[in-house]
């Protein structure tokens, strides 16, 4: 099984990136997770969507080839980041690469709510016709106080979160089999 992670922060020390890297490492024997960079994606522009830049085509091809998508979202101003919104706009047009593809959402922030508002919006977005991505129900991953949950090397150190994620990932793999 091949999963792509779409991380809505391009910050070098991003907690959301570290969360994606934790999933990549811990479940490496269960599925391959490729973390896609959003750094090289140009701004979405409807004037060029039919002749999109190579960076967009490469990014969308990787998403299309995956069996599932892991969305790892920061919370910016009570919603998803513009970086993530931009990637979503590209994915929602012309070749709709997440159409029918199973998704799971996670998010990390230093606050107590762990991106709850951003995830609420992202769930709605995935329901839009340009996305139409079925989302793992009943498993919501809010990593709050993220600055206390990773060590200096970026490893997740919070045992309760690690155990919780084990269960969520197990649930995701069972649920997503109906789609692949």
> Which residues of this protein are in contact with ligand FMN, per CB under 6 A?
9, 11, 14-16, 74-78, 109-111
62 exposed, middle or buried (CB, 10 Å; 0-12, 13-18, 19+)? middle
Q: Tokens at residue 31, please?
A: 């599925």
CB of 16 or CB of 21, closer to ligand FMN? 16
CA distance linking residue 81 with residue 108, whole number of Å? 13
Nearer to ligand FMN, 60 or 149 (CB): 149
**What minimum distance in Å lies between the beta carbon of 14 and ligand FMN?**
3
Task: Give the Cα separation of 3 and 23 in Å (integer).
Answer: 11
Q: What is the C-alpha separation between 83 and 101, in angstroms, rounded?
A: 21
Please identify, using beta-carbon distances, which residue of 53 and 111 lies nearer to ligand FMN.
111
- How near is the Cβ of 142 to ligand FMN at its closest, in Å? 10
| Shortest reach from residue 19's CB to ligand FMN, in Å | 8
Residue 16 near residue 74, CB atoms below 8 Å: yes
CB of 11 to ligand FMN, least distance (A): 4
Pick between residue 22 and residue 101 the one whose CB is nearest to ligand FMN. 22
């Amino acid at each position: 099984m091949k999963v792509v992670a779409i991380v809505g922060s391009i910050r070098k020390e991003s907690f959301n990136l570290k969360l994606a890297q934790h999933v990549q490492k811990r479940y490496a024997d269960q599925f391959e997770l490729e973390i896609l960079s959003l750094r090289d994606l140009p701004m979405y522009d409807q004037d060029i969507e039919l002749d999109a830049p190579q960076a967009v085509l490469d990014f969308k091809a990787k998403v299309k080839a995956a069996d599932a998508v892991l969305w790892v979202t920061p919370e910016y101003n009570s919603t998803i980041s513009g970086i993530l919104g931009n990637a979503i706009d590209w994915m929602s047009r012309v070749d709709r690469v997440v159409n029918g593809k199973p998704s799971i959402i996670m998010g990390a922030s230093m606050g107590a709510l762990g991106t709850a508002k951003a995830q609420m919006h992202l769930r709605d977005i995935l329901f839009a016709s340009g996305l139409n991505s079925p989302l793992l129900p009943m498993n919501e991953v809010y990593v709050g106080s993220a600055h206390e949950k990773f060590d200096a090397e970026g490893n997740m150190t919070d045992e309760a979160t690690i155990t919780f994620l084990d269960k969520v990932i197990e649930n995701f793999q069972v649920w997503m089999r109906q789609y692949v």
